[in-house]
Structure 1
Amino acid sequence: MSTYPHLLAPLDLGHVTLPNRVLMGSMHTGLEETGDWARVAEFYATRARGGVALIVTGGMAPNAEGGVFPGAAGLFSAQDIANHRQVTDAVHAAGGRIAMQILHAGRYAYGKECVSASAVKSPISPFVPRELDEAGIEKQIADIVTAASRAQEAGYDGVEIMGSEGYFLNQFLVRHVNKRTDRWGGDYANRMRLPVEVVRRVRAAVGPKFILIYRISLIDLVPDGSSWDEVVLLARAIEAAGASLLNTGIGWHEARVPTIATSVPRAAFTWLTGRLRPEVSIPVITSNRINTPDVAEGILAGGQADMVSMARPFLADPEFVAKAAAGKAAQIAPCIACNQACLDHTFSGKLTSCLVNPRACAETELRYAPTATPKRVAIVGAGAAGMMCAIVAAQRGHSVTLFEASGQIGGLLNLAKVVPGKEEFRGLVDWFGVMLAEAGVDLRLNTRASAPDLAGFDEVVVATGVSPRDPGIAGQDAAHVLGYEAVLTGAPVGKRVAIVGAGGIGFDVAEFLVHQGDSPTEDLALWKREWGVGDPAEVPGGLAAAGPQPEAPARAVTLLQRKAEKPGRRLGKTTGWIHRAALQMKNVQMRGGVSYDAVVPEGMQISTAEGPELLAVDTVVMCAGQVPNRALADALAAAGITAHVIGGADVAAELDAKRAIDQGARLGAAF
């Protein structure tokens, strides 16, 4: 009997039966814009081979004004249809099914030609949209219908119409944007007219034997958003208009509540899907922060959804479903919801990848092919870079010995996993342990390898990580000065703290020190109070009337940096605001343009543009950066032994697991 009977159960949609309850949710990867359609096809075909029931592509623009940025991909010509046919043919040959998402960005379109219900500028775009007249609205409807028909011609099994996350259709639904007084605005019957008409006309165009998914926003998390009664009314109308499935979206892109970052509790919004499900008779799909088969199975078994959408987990591991079905769930590479290589890349105009899986979107370029010439490979350091290199090299057929001076694998990932909001790193370290054993790596803990130990190997890799940088502050040897490693491994810390350095490590240490009690990431009720998430049945949009109500901070913390800029400005593009907001809610003082004069018995002496100042603190924590730990690399060079240097030992830029894992994977693939 299957461990996941609900997850792996078929789903009958009438004209087609899906083999399981797993949807690969839409992600914009940037692949379509490269023009390399063989690469696009292989990305989706790889996921189809991994067993997912239905794939949804990244959003395709229905017209130029609706594209998320100028030049965004869509089906505008016969050549576009032929290109997309390569994708659908590849997915079907792999035994899968695929739907194309039609995404009209509305006022979120990053261009002067953007359009919307009203001329209300988005806070995340510099462009004021043009308010559409009747002819303009008709053009948008017709273009969406044309896009659906072209998708059908290109061989897609269905389409998903994007009606959530604050995009075009969502903008018509809410008073937050829709200020119209004609038949497309005013009361809710008018405001929902556009999405219902779009679904009705798409269904008429594609016929009954074509999957039509509507992505509905269950909680907007913006002022004047939809009420719950309106959500239900829309869901029923969309069903009546011809939708096959309702997929659920959570929050607008401009919302100041995190919805998919690692600090959000797993399955944080399934309570809303569970509430909607009995209101309609078509299957309802849940989404957001679902990253293991156990979590997915629990949602389905509990009746909260008919199907589970996971997007980024299929970047981390395209074989998610196949491994779950084979009883190998522990081998599923976990999505840790870090956003570093996916959403941060997307919003920076870079091609998407995955911190955990560098092959994501690089399937035709980065290959782990079996080796024809097995080698003896020595890797020193079982941090992120060393472990990934060891796994890839061993999977390819090399004999790999991994030396680790400490008594555990993980390196600095073990510091990350103790920070509240980064609990997902526990699963990442566990996965590395499983995969090292599965690949047959000879792991030698508590072993400090030296140059003579490495002399007989064909390839030697130095992945010895970083050491904290010495900031050279007068008095830094005082008893009340601690390094970040000591703090994160349990050293006693006073009630008033100054943190020297406001990079990613400084922010993590600050989060660690202001926290007390249960982590909100592991307590949904606590997390909702902290971020002010309410119930759309009580407040339209779902923002709690009382606003955010975080727990009191455990300590008074001041975060310092030398750079005369806003602390945290260089954090992740899509998560930096979350870290800054979380610490501001805990009354953390963030100060830039600071000179560190001296550590004194009373605390720390600093200088700013206003002059010298004494910070009266009990503890000073050093988070002043890192330097490469290159002692072994230098010793090997002196002994005439050629070595590859990767990870922090190569470049000590913060705790950059993304770069370290990518380096390790590429080196392991190159032997």
Structure 2
Amino acid sequence: MAKYQKLLEPFSIGNVELRNRFVMLPMTIEKVDNYHVTDDLIDFYEQRAKGGVSLIEIGSAYVCDCFDTEPKYHTTTGACGIWDDQFIPGLQRVAEVCHKHGTKVAVQLQLCYEWRASGDDPLLSYAPSKDVQSGPFVGMPEREYTKEEIAIVVKQYGEAAKRAKDAGIDIIEIHAGIGYMVMRFLSKYSNHRTDEYGGSPENRARLLTEIIDEVHKTCGDDMPILIRISADDLMPGGNRIEDTKELVPIIEAHGVDAWSVQAGFHEAPRPVANQIVPEGEFIDLAKEVKSVTNKPVFPGTRINSLDMCEKVVTQGYGDAVGMARQFIADPETAGKVAAGHPEQVRPCIVCSRCLDNIFIGKPCQCSVNANVWQGAEVGLPQDKPAEQKKHIVVIGAGPGGLETSRVAALRGHKVTLIDKADRVGGLLNMAQVLNANMEPFVTWWGNEIKLHPNVDLRLKTEVTAADIKALNPDEVVVAPGGGVIQIDVPGIDGKNVVKSEDIKAMVAGHVPEGKGLIWKAAVAAIKAQGGTVGFMRFGLNMSTGPTAIVGKRVVIVGGGFAGLECAESMCEGREITVIEEAKKLGNGIGIIDKNPTINLVKSKGVKLMPLTKLVEVTKKGARVQNVETGEETFIECDTVLTSLGVEQNTDLYDKIVKEFPNAKLIGDATTPEGKVYRTLEATKGGYEAGMAF
């Protein structure tokens, strides 16, 4: 059997047949208007349906009235409403547009942490037990459910399910995971009740089973029901997989057609979705659930690669595979596999920038797919051919320049893409050495840019304004990448100092200016190995031998995104200290990843010193100073590594704009002072430039 073919086989949930094993999991992507479906949301789902996914789950759909309220949990405001008949037409539009392309639709019925019986009541934080802190941003519950209120909740779910059915939705999903309301009843961590809704597994499952019974009552037994559950909630004293295996048959006896298995609570001490979590970390939970049910089961936590998807369906971990972020990154993932071109699938880099926005109530964004942020208003390049075909010269083949070229070429423009390096990717080439999650994206770009006949790629080429003028372009885009933030202290040019621009040069196959035999040997070894990322990663981490460019004891200057990434990737076998002038570390890291990243480097023995600046480098180490007290400390080390991030870089643009006044400067080169630009900002700038001509 050809690779990935098992993923293309159909399967069924209840009486609904699905064309392949790819399921797009529910995400609240904040593309609604006062809880109503928008054209932007329709466009988002239609792209994924056209892209070949078998099932799209609308997440979330709130079952209680939230009009004219201010939920403490920000994500609630970006959910679809389903508590009133006025929401049926919008949901019907989603169903119709997905059905047109052969995709089935589930709607995820949801209560997060807040509830009210009607629009006349205040929206308050509720829980099964008032003595347990609730989810993010919510604090302690304001109310503990009475049995009379639970009955109202059950009725709300039943009425919501009927509206979904009336809208043409194929499957009802009940969210009973990640620490939201239904899961808080299921979990021993959060449910301390002593009545019939607490205590035994049957009692803790009672809210869910009553909801299931009510859905069957309002929708009939032929409406398939899918349960999304955290098989291990990862909370102290909470549910483990053994508890879930006890709960599944109890719940299933009420009529369940499939199980979507995840892990964790939002407030769990152990991360579940970050890139620091190994891919496939929780697929065993789905296999355990499969041992107590004959219904379809699929895992859906921290999965993004096709190889992991194939492992799930071929090695018995699940009957299908659920992903959300990968389908954000590339709506056509399933279709490209079906067409026999899996290498064309644009990979998710697991950066969590999508979740960073969603968790604070802002529209979803994506580091590799700018259209998610730009939405229907800007549109897709293939749907908006250029009215006037132009010749566009793009300087710089980093993510910004590559995206400009791709988008402009798709719209019919002729593009000349020029870079002085010997490969595309720009700073991504250095990033992939430090972060293996970036490597598939760099590989994808290497393949992708070759697919566009309108793009003339010229590597190993430095240009002047005169060179560009000779090309006779209609438009010029300058995407040189950001300038490396410099630091000026005594000893900073010493042999024991490694600057981020030195690593950038080495990865690009050049010996950094002023560096000697060790660096020449390292670059020669990299070239001898064909410039493979694995060898570069190995060489950068070597602490002995001819390529020992980073010693055993290291002081990293800069505790932002770049510095912490260096610390985490290089700490094995080393003593690493990170100094940062700011009071808090992690500048440039979003809300989802910041604390887990800081905790991770601490757990690996990295010493973190905020409020500390470098004042001198000597042959024996680094002299540092506390910025508040002025107290100085000397840290003995073998290497001082500067990793302060990037800043505005207009040198090349300033020369070019004199000859081409309409030239655009994009990407990291535009980074404002004090801000951190990453792949997302470069990709967005490139997308906007490519769509503007």
Asked if 1:116 corresponds to 2:127, the answer is yes
Asked if 1:558 corresponds to 2:577, the answer is yes
Please show how residues 90-169 of structure 1 align to structure 2 within 5 Å: 90-106=97-113, 113-119=124-130, 120-122=132-134, 124-129=136-141, 130-169=143-182
- The answer to whether the Cα contact below 8 Å between 1:121 and 1:127 also exists between their aligned partners in 2 is yes
Asked if 1:425 corresponds to 2:448, the answer is no
1:53 maps to what in 2? 54
1:648 maps to what in 2? 668
Query: Deviation of residue 404 (structure 1)?
Result: 1.1
- The answer to whether the Cα contact below 8 Å between 2:587 and 2:676 also exists between their aligned partners in 1 is no
Please show how residues 416-495 of structure 1 align to structure 2 within 5 Å: 416-419=431-434, 422-440=435-453, 441-455=455-469, 456-487=472-503, 489=507, 490=540, 492-495=549-552
Query: Deviation of residue 641 (structure 1)?
Result: 5.2
| Aligned residue among 355, 371, 383 for 1:343 | 355
Letter in 2 for 1:451: A
Letter in 2 for 1:194: L
For structure 2, list consecutive stretches of 5 or more residues without a partner in the other structure.
Answer: 117-121, 508-539, 541-547
- The answer to whether the Cα contact below 8 Å between 2:114 and 2:124 also exists between their aligned partners in 1 is no
| Aligned residue among 246, 267, 279 for 1:266 | 279
Q: Distance in 1 between matches of 2:302 and 2:153?
A: 32
Residues 204/361 of structure 1: CA separation in 2 closer, same or farther (3 Å cut): farther
Residues 14/192 of structure 1: CA separation in 2 closer, same or farther (3 Å cut): closer
Asked if 1:606 corresponds to 2:624, the answer is yes
| Aligned residue among 368, 374, 395 for 1:380 | 395
Query: Deviation of residue 474 (structure 1)?
Result: 2.3
Asked if 1:661 corresponds to 2:683, the answer is yes
3-state SS of 2:447 partner: helix
Please show how residues 498-513 of structure 1 align to structure 2 within 5 Å: 498-513=555-570
3-state SS of 1:572 partner: coil
1:536 maps to what in 2? none
Q: Distance in 2 between matches of 1:135 and 1:284?
A: 34
Asked if 1:81 corresponds to 2:92, the answer is no
- The answer to whether the Cα contact below 8 Å between 1:41 and 1:88 also exists between their aligned partners in 2 is no
| Aligned residue among 227, 230, 240 for 2:243 | 230
Please show how residues 28-43 of structure 1 align to structure 2 within 5 Å: 28-33=28-33, 35=36, 37-43=38-44
Residues 318/393 of structure 1: CA separation in 2 closer, same or farther (3 Å cut): same
Moved more, 122-131 or 196-205: 122-131
3-state SS of 2:352 partner: coil
2:64 maps to what in 1? 63
Q: Distance in 1 between matches of 2:135 and 2:218?
A: 36
Q: Distance in 2 between matches of 1:49 and 1:195?
A: 34
For structure 1, list consecutive stretches of 5 or more residues without a partner in the other structure.
Answer: 516-553
1:19 maps to what in 2? 19
1:582 maps to what in 2? 600
- The answer to whether the Cα contact below 8 Å between 1:606 and 1:615 also exists between their aligned partners in 2 is yes
Normalised to the residue count of structure 1, the TM-score between the two structures is 0.89
Query: Deviation of residue 112 (structure 1)?
Result: 6.4
Letter in 2 for 1:53: S
Letter in 2 for 1:152: K
| Aligned residue among 315, 318, 325 for 1:305 | 318
- The answer to whether the Cα contact below 8 Å between 2:420 and 2:459 also exists between their aligned partners in 1 is yes
Q: Distance in 2 between matches of 1:251 and 1:635?
A: 53
Query: Deviation of residue 108 (structure 1)?
Result: 11
Letter in 2 for 1:350: K
Q: Distance in 1 between matches of 2:163 and 2:373?
A: 25
Q: Distance in 2 between matches of 1:245 and 1:308?
A: 12
Q: Distance in 2 between matches of 1:10 and 1:36?
A: 29
Deviations along 1:320-354, whole A, 9 cap, x unmatched?
111110011111111111111x1001012210021
Structure number with the bigger relative contact order (C-alpha 8 A, sep ≥ 6) is 1
Letter in 1 for 2:680: K
Query: Deviation of residue 201 (structure 1)?
Result: 2.1
- The answer to whether the Cα contact below 8 Å between 2:59 and 2:80 also exists between their aligned partners in 1 is no
Q: Distance in 2 between matches of 1:416 and 1:107?
A: 41
Letter in 1 for 2:197: W
3-state SS of 1:57 partner: strand
Query: How many residues are aligned here?
Result: 628
2:4 maps to what in 1? 4
3-state SS of 1:364 partner: helix
Q: Distance in 1 between matches of 2:10 and 2:570?
A: 47
Query: Deviation of residue 148 (structure 1)?
Result: 1.0
Deviations along 1:71-124, whole A, 9 cap, x unmatched?
453212222222222222222233321111011113699x96011110121363
Residues 239/361 of structure 1: CA separation in 2 closer, same or farther (3 Å cut): farther
Letter in 2 for 1:190: N
- The answer to whether the Cα contact below 8 Å between 2:9 and 2:20 also exists between their aligned partners in 1 is yes
Query: Deviation of residue 378 (structure 1)?
Result: 0.9
Q: Distance in 1 between matches of 2:115 and 2:88?
A: 26
- The answer to whether the Cα contact below 8 Å between 2:187 and 2:233 also exists between their aligned partners in 1 is no
Letter in 2 for 1:392: V
Q: Distance in 2 between matches of 1:561 and 1:240?
A: 57
- The answer to whether the Cα contact below 8 Å between 1:27 and 1:57 also exists between their aligned partners in 2 is yes
Letter in 2 for 1:117: P
Letter in 1 for 2:457: L
Residues 643/236 of structure 1: CA separation in 2 closer, same or farther (3 Å cut): same
Query: Deviation of residue 438 (structure 1)?
Result: 0.7
- The answer to whether the Cα contact below 8 Å between 1:108 and 1:167 also exists between their aligned partners in 2 is no
Deviations along 1:29-49, whole A, 9 cap, x unmatched?
011246462222221122111
Q: Distance in 1 between matches of 2:457 and 2:269?
A: 44
Q: Percent identity?
A: 32
Letter in 2 for 1:128: M
3-state SS of 2:210 partner: helix
1:521 maps to what in 2? none
- The answer to whether the Cα contact below 8 Å between 1:404 and 1:444 also exists between their aligned partners in 2 is yes
Moved more, 645-654 or 384-393: 645-654
Letter in 2 for 1:4: Y
Moved more, 300-309 or 287-296: 287-296
- The answer to whether the Cα contact below 8 Å between 1:203 and 1:243 also exists between their aligned partners in 2 is no
Asked if 1:358 corresponds to 2:382, the answer is no
Please show how residues 531-570 of structure 1 align to structure 2 within 5 Å: 554-563=573-582, 565-568=583-586, 570=588
Moved more, 463-472 or 644-653: 644-653
- The answer to whether the Cα contact below 8 Å between 1:11 and 1:19 also exists between their aligned partners in 2 is yes
Query: Deviation of residue 53 (structure 1)?
Result: 0.9
Query: Deviation of residue 12 (structure 1)?
Result: 3.0
Q: Distance in 2 between matches of 1:635 and 1:245?
A: 62
Letter in 2 for 1:632: L
Query: Deviation of residue 168 (structure 1)?
Result: 1.0
Residues 2/50 of structure 1: CA separation in 2 closer, same or farther (3 Å cut): farther
Q: Distance in 2 between matches of 1:417 and 1:612?
A: 36
2:615 maps to what in 1? 597
Letter in 1 for 2:291: P
- The answer to whether the Cα contact below 8 Å between 2:188 and 2:237 also exists between their aligned partners in 1 is yes
Asked if 1:620 corresponds to 2:640, the answer is yes
Normalised to the residue count of structure 2, the TM-score between the two structures is 0.87
3-state SS of 2:7 partner: coil
Residues 128/53 of structure 1: CA separation in 2 closer, same or farther (3 Å cut): same
Residues 506/353 of structure 1: CA separation in 2 closer, same or farther (3 Å cut): same
Residues 614/107 of structure 1: CA separation in 2 closer, same or farther (3 Å cut): farther
- The answer to whether the Cα contact below 8 Å between 2:8 and 2:19 also exists between their aligned partners in 1 is yes
3-state SS of 1:638 partner: helix
Deviations along 1:605-634, whole A, 9 cap, x unmatched?
222134222222221111233233322211
Residues 377/468 of structure 1: CA separation in 2 closer, same or farther (3 Å cut): same
Q: Distance in 2 between matches of 1:626 and 1:169?
A: 45
3-state SS of 1:357 partner: coil
- The answer to whether the Cα contact below 8 Å between 2:18 and 2:55 also exists between their aligned partners in 1 is yes
